[in-house]
Structure 1
Amino acid sequence: MLIGEYRHTVDDKGRLFVPARLRDELGEPLVMTRGLDQCLFVFPPAEWRNLEAKLRALPLAQSSARAFVRMLLSGACECVPDKQGRILLPQTLREYAGIDREAVLIGVGNRMEIWSAERWTRYVEEASEAYSRIAEQIVDLGI
């Protein structure tokens, strides 16, 4: 399971170090694409295949389904970390996520997300205020 929060700097060539703990869980090749909330989603191969199957099952006649599939798949690329554990963040995806130099990588169960440090800080501040209320609304975790 992908968990944790890690802060790293994007180098001048657009490469980002992925901690070994996340790399080991992600496997290769990982698939990166536009995520929701203006972050990037990074999937292990098996999770990506599961998602692809679900996308193929969406109704072609529904415009919102077509739009979602277009956004997700048109931004997708396969990545293999280099020997130093870095992945290349394509310019188009960096622009989408607003990632310049400082990035935050978070594990969220079945995927990793990559956020601009500024957007992640803002997201955490806003989400923290509603954290307990949201938990009550979505599920009884039994904790």
Structure 2
Amino acid sequence: MLLGEYEHTLDAKGRLAMPAKLRESLGSKFIITKGLDGCLFVYDMEQWHQLEQKLAALPMSRKTARDFTRFLFGGACEGECDKQGRVLLPANLRRHAGLEKDAVIVGVGSRAEIWDAGRWNEYNEENAEDVSELAEQLADLGI
């Protein structure tokens, strides 16, 4: 399970140090792709294959299924940490997430998310009140 919030800085080559605790859970190779809300999603290979199977089962006759599949797979790449624990983030993924220097890596259970630090702070400020409302809605569902 991927948990925690970690602040790191991208180097000049676009490499980002992955926290040791997350590296252990992600394994030696993992998938990085465009995420929702302006971040990147990071999946271990098992979670990625499960997601891949779910997307393959969607009816390709539905435009939303085709669009989402293109979004997720078209932006995906295989990640692997170097000896210093850094992963190279391709330019297209850095652009998508607005990553230039300061980043926040967040473990959210089945995946990690990589955020530009400024975007992460804005997201948290904008959604602070929504979390209480969401918690109430989830309580109605028994969670």
What TM-score do you get using the length of structure 2 for normalisation? 0.96
What's the offset of the Cα at 1:126?
1.3
Distance in 1, matches of 2:83 and 2:129, equals: 40
Deviations 1:84-109 (A, max 9, x none): 00000100000000011000000000
**Matches of residues 94-105 of structure 1 in structure 2 within 5 Å?**
94-105=94-105
Partner of 1:120: 120
**1:130 is matched with which residue?**
130
Work out the CA distance in 2 between the residues paired with 1:103 and 1:8: 5
Q: Does 1:41 align with 2:51?
A: no
Correspondence 1:24-103 to 2 at 5 A? 24-103=24-103
Ranges in structure 2 where 5+ consecutive residues have no aligned partner: none
Q: Report the RMSD for the aligned CA atoms in angstroms.
A: 0.8
Taking only the aligned residue pairs, the percentage that are identical comes to 53
| TM superposition shift of 1:28 | 2.4
* Structure 1 contact 28–45 (Cα < 8 Å) conserved: no
Q: String of CA shifts for 1:4-54, please: whole Å, max 9, x gaps.
A: 000000000000000100100111210000001010000001000000000
- Asked if 2 retains the 8 angstrom alpha-carbon contact of 1:99 and 1:116, the reply is yes
CA distance in 2, matches of 1:101, 1:133: 33
Counterpart secondary structure, 2:12: coil
How many corresponding residue pairs? Answer: 141
SS of structure 2 residue aligned to 1:92: helix
SS at match of 1:12: coil
Deviation of 1:138 (Å): 2.5
Aligned 8 A contact 1:28 1:80 in 2: yes
- Segments of 5+ residues of structure 1 without an aligned counterpart are none
> Which amino acid in the other structure matches residue 35 of structure 1?
G
- The residue type paired with residue 111 of structure 1 is R
- Structure 1 segments, 4+ long, off by >2 Å, are 138-141
- Structure 1 residue identity aligned to 2:80: V
